[in-house]
Amino acid sequence: MRHSKPCLFTALLLAGAVPACGDGAASTLEPGAPVLATRTDQGNVREPFFVTVDNPCTLAIEAIDLEGTIHGIGSTWDNGHVKTHYNVNLNGVDANGVRYQASSTGNGKERD
C-alpha cells in the first residue's frame, strides 16, 4: 500500500516552488482587482392613478373606468446601470356593472 502523505507533501512543495521560478507576466485572463459600483440615486414611489380604457372584448366597445396604484422602485449606479421594479394593482367597473381586477409586476435593467 502506498502512503499518500509523502506524495501530498511533494505536491505542496512543487506548487510553492512554481511561482518562485521566475518573474512571469500576469495572465492576460486575469481581470485585476474588482471595481465595485456605488448607488448614486434610489427612488421609491407609490402613485394612485385613474384611466378610462375601451374594452374590445364586448360587442359594442364599452369604456371601463380603471383606478389603482402603481408602486415603483428604482436605483441608478455610478457605472451606468439602472435597475427598476414595479407593481400595478387596479380595479374597474363597466357600464353594465361588470367588475374588472388586474395586477402586474415587472423588473427592468438597463445600462447607459
Cell of 99: 367588475
The total number of residues written for the chain in this structure: 112
For the segment 44-103, what is each residue's pLDDT rounded down to a tens digit? 999 998 988 888 777 777 888 899 999 999 999 888 889 999 999 999 988 888 898 989
For the segment 3-56, what is each residue's pLDDT rounded down to a tens digit? 444 544 444 444 444 444 455 555 455 556 667 888 888 899 999 989 888 887
CA distances from 18 to 29, 38, 56, 69 (A): 19, 38, 74, 64
pLDDT score recorded for residue 89: 93
Tell me the β-bridge partners of 47. Answer: 70
- Per DSSP, the three-state class of 29 is coil
**pTM, to two decimals:** 0.54
How many other C-beta atoms are found inside a 10 Å radius of the C-beta of residue 79? 12
Cα separation of 24 and 111, whole Å?
A: 37
